[in-house]
Structure 1
């Protein structure tokens, strides 16, 4: 039996598009080519949820006027330690872990002279073999993915291979970060314990 529910604003904020991996790209096109994030939630009419699927972490959304169905799944915890991270930072860390399974290490909250890591606003996505063509391509894909989903992630910036990327453009020179992609969000506040992060 389907029970009608309203779509919470948080679901609309975290719902993205199709979860696909990008093809390899040169560093110059990092911003232009990126996979859209996650899954698209289309709800042109009242939305219904199957209560049987909700307990298993899977929610089925039905748009009755078109008869279309989109599945929205909760993102599990990824490889980043989430202690001390704010909600948008957790969301991007989980999304990167889900979309890029070759990432085995993501650093999070830590002491630092700047406030981004201590305040839970930044993660460091460690790139395997970062000096190889494959490692550079993977870092480029992660930057492109974050920028493509900047609004959803509350993205402030990414730093990779000496370039400082923002949703408004890129600036090169002297930024370091040759072995990891640094991603900073605007935070969104600290978790209260009841958050669900959606693909």
Structure 2
């Protein structure tokens, strides 16, 4: 997997800074000024976690490679928009990665729906299967609509836990949060999601 631009050729951090871990926010600021060495260090420090998240969402390694490349292209182009007052650099990177991965899944699903629609149009439909598919599609739309009613932090945690397949502990690590805080966001998000959809009413 080749990062952009020439990230694989960057020099590693050294000394105390390396021991403590790289300053991702600082590397983003330098990248925003066109510093390719800083971008290389940012890539080296985060590529495995970014790729891991993308694989978990996309569930196809070949596509995950492409999406990871797209993520770092986006990071390179948008690094100047990172605002440390709105969250950690890792959370910002993970949010971009998750959005790109979800976009790829939705694109694949849309292509699949077009193929299914073509096949259904050109054959006698099985009415029971068609009704079941329509019901499932309706439920999916209701869930997607309900997600828009969550706060940003709740939606981020819910998407990682239930669409990304991460445990509470992994969600906490990805979002740079205490485990208790991650669990609270997931629990509150689920309660709000349930109330919005109307389950149990």
Structure possessing the higher radius of gyration over alpha carbons:
2
- TM normalised by structure 1 equals 0.31
Highest relative contact order (Cα 8 Å, sep 6+), 1 or 2?
1
**TM-score with structure 2 length normalisation?**
0.31
Structure 1 or 2: larger helix share? 2
